[in-house]
Structure 1
Amino acid sequence: MHILKVSGMSCGHCVRAITQAVRALDDAAEVQIDLAAGEVRVASRLSPQQLLQAVRDEGYGAELA
């Protein structure tokens, strides 16, 4: 499980965008998003760097928690 701190998330659209971005690279990924905490938890075969890039490519700030 990788935990990312993500800035700029505020609504359901953000949740869908990030979830779709991760699943575009790993369709079996499990994505849990806590908007209030600004956290994205991902169980995936992807590396942390791949996850960070996927989130950043959607326009959000991201770093490992």
Structure 2
Amino acid sequence: MIKMLHDLGIKSEYAYIGGAASIGVSLISWFASRQKKGDDKAQADRWGIFIGHWAPTFFALGVALRLEEQDD
């Protein structure tokens, strides 16, 4: 799968940017949830946590793509 992503032109930097962006979006979602009242706040908190879990996946893909780039 990593080879296929590499062959499609996806670079490790893109994955690292995706990881950093998911952390930023998670924080924005969490800060926005603090403004809500009632049950909506709990749902928004869970959404922020869900988005925050994407970051390790993006960073792991970035490392794998970096290793693939070194093989070239």
Q: Give the TM-score, by structure 1 length.
A: 0.28
Q: Give the TM-score, by structure 2 length.
A: 0.27
Q: Who wins on radius of gyration, i.e. which is larger?
A: 2
